[in-house]
Amino acid sequence: MTADTSQATATAQPNIALVKYWGKRDATLNLPAAGSLSITLAGLHTRTHVHFDPALDADDVALNGARDTAQTRKVSAFLDLFRARARVDTRARVTSSNDFPTGAGLASSASGFAALAVAADRALRLGLGARNLSRLARRGSGSAARSIFGGFVEMSAGTRADGEDAFATPLLAADAWPLTVVVAITARGAKSISSRAGMEASQRASPFYRAWLATVPEDLASARAAVQARDFEQLARVSEASCLAMHAVMLATRPALLYWNPATVACIDCIRGLQRDGIGVFFTIDAGPQVKAVCLPGASSRVAAALRGVGGVQDLVTSTLGAGARVVPDTAA
Ligand code: PMV
């Protein structure tokens, strides 16, 4: 085939894990050591345009208008997976932008690689389908496999060495249980240590790593059942436990991974106070200092007002749950 008009635009949203992923069973294929369960957000978007252009000698990658050698290398290696499937070696121009703060603990790598997978698939007319796109998005970032789908999503770790059984599947549509997430931004700027490096360190040097992995199957079963039954109390219990167990593994890593700041702890305290007042809310925290408050419909304005008053909270981002990655009309990002 000739690839000279091969271009497409896709959009994807970040997701937040409720049962966390922390550790790999294979670094090359980026296979998770255990499953995870997440919610895809609605209000934050990555928009990515990919143009495979025979006039190019090298991939040209602009993220939020900036070019970075390490990012370009990562995106090139990712696009190679698609080029191999399409049997082309045409280089691509990629322009991608986020309408939310990048690298601020808002899972921009999840939406970024999910959007890139969908755009590359369409531009090369591969028609791979959502399950294959989830497998491929995983190669860019483990959490990206989940952003291919909307609403409540479960990621399987699989057991196969080739990783063919490590992909995400949708559990429940976003509008079937319309929860809202309020993100309390407690620090700006890129995190001190990436998820990839942090996971490797925990796996190598946290005495709690094996014990953490052993908790995941039961937590997944409990969270899956809570989602199916729309049981908020149960989802709150298992999500907070999974988050805190992951952070316990991080803290026990030598040297320690401490992603929190004083405002992170103050937000947890605030959310616990709201829970005592009977408000439907729970917290989850990823590899960074931001606190994500997951709220029952109707609770989010009260939660946002309370978190806004916490010392050290710099900003709030509120989002409902949304759709998976998809192709959008073909205009440059
Ligand atoms: O796949 P990555 O590199 O974005 O790692 C995700 C790690 C956590 O956000 C901490 C947990 C998760 O399951 O999203």
- Residue 34 is part of a domain; what is its CATH number? 3.30.230.10
- The b/e string for 265-303 (b: 16+ C-beta within 10 A; e otherwise) is ebbbebbeebbeeebbbbbbbbbbbbbbbbbbeebbebb
The finding on whether 209 has its CB within 6 A of some atom of ligand 1 is no
Q: How far is the CA of 286 from the centre of ligand 1 (A)?
A: 7
Gap between the Cα atoms of 5 and 307, Å rounded: 49
- CB atoms < 10 A from the CB of 177, how many? 19
Mean of pLDDT over the chain:
95
State how far the alpha carbon of 63 is from the alpha carbons of 42, 69, 81, 247, 305, in Å.
Answer: 21, 11, 20, 30, 33
The finding on whether 198 has its CB within 6 A of some atom of ligand 1 is no
pLDDT above 70 (res 1): no
The finding on whether 17 has its CB within 6 A of some atom of ligand 1 is yes
Q: What percent of the chain has pLDDT over 70?
A: 96
What pLDDT is stored for residue 107 in this prediction?
Answer: 77
* Same domain, yes or no: 137 and 195: no
Residue of 18, 22, 108 best suited for mutating to test ligand 1, as the one with most atoms within 8 Å of CB: 22
Minimum CA distance residue for ligand 1 atom 9? 286
The finding on whether 239 has its CB within 6 A of some atom of ligand 1 is no
The finding on whether 143 has its CB within 6 A of some atom of ligand 1 is yes
Q: What percent of the chain has pLDDT over 90?
A: 92
Gap between the Cα atoms of 272 and 310, Å rounded: 13
pLDDT for 25-34, tens place per residue?
999 999 999 9
CB 90 within 8 A of CB 52: yes
State how far the alpha carbon of 168 is from the alpha carbons of 20, 37, 76, 147, 331, in Å.
Answer: 14, 9, 23, 9, 29
Gap between the Cα atoms of 97 and 102, Å rounded: 9
Q: Residue 251 is inside which H or E element, if any?
A: helix 232-252
What pLDDT is stored for residue 333 in this prediction?
Answer: 45
Q: How far is the CA of 276 from the centre of ligand 1 (A)?
A: 29
Q: Which residues lie closer than 8 Å to 285 by C-beta, 6 or more apart?
A: 243, 247, 259, 260, 264, 268, 291, 292
The finding on whether 141 has its CB within 6 A of some atom of ligand 1 is yes
* Same domain, yes or no: 155 and 11: yes
* Same domain, yes or no: 13 and 125: yes
Inside any domain, residue 268: yes
3-state secondary structure at position 170: strand
Gap between the Cα atoms of 236 and 299, Å rounded: 14
**Parent domain of 42:** 7-173+322-328
Q: Which residues lie closer than 8 Å to 17 by C-beta, 6 or more apart?
A: 36, 37, 38, 143, 146, 284, 286
* Same domain, yes or no: 230 and 81: no
Which of 104, 79, 94, 15 has the alpha carbon at shortest distance from 47?
94
Inside any domain, residue 260: yes
Q: Give the chain's domain count.
A: 2
Residues 3-9, mean pLDDT to the nearest whole number? 79
Place of tokens 């014990």: 211
Q: How far is the CA of 242 from the centre of ligand 1 (A)?
A: 13
* Same domain, yes or no: 80 and 199: no
∠ at Cα 14 (11, 19), nearest 5°?
145
- Residue 280 is part of a domain; what is its CATH number? 3.30.70.890
| pTM over 0.85, yes/no | yes
Gap between the Cα atoms of 234 and 194, Å rounded: 30
* Same domain, yes or no: 149 and 222: no
Atom of ligand 1 nearest to the CA of 143: 1
What pLDDT is stored for residue 192 in this prediction?
Answer: 78
pLDDT for 94-123, tens place per residue?
999 999 876 667 778 999 999 999 999 999
Gap between the Cα atoms of 36 and 40, Å rounded: 13
* Same domain, yes or no: 254 and 195: yes
pLDDT for 231-280, tens place per residue?
999 999 999 999 999 999 999 999 999 999 999 999 999 999 999 999 99
pLDDT above 60 (res 3): no
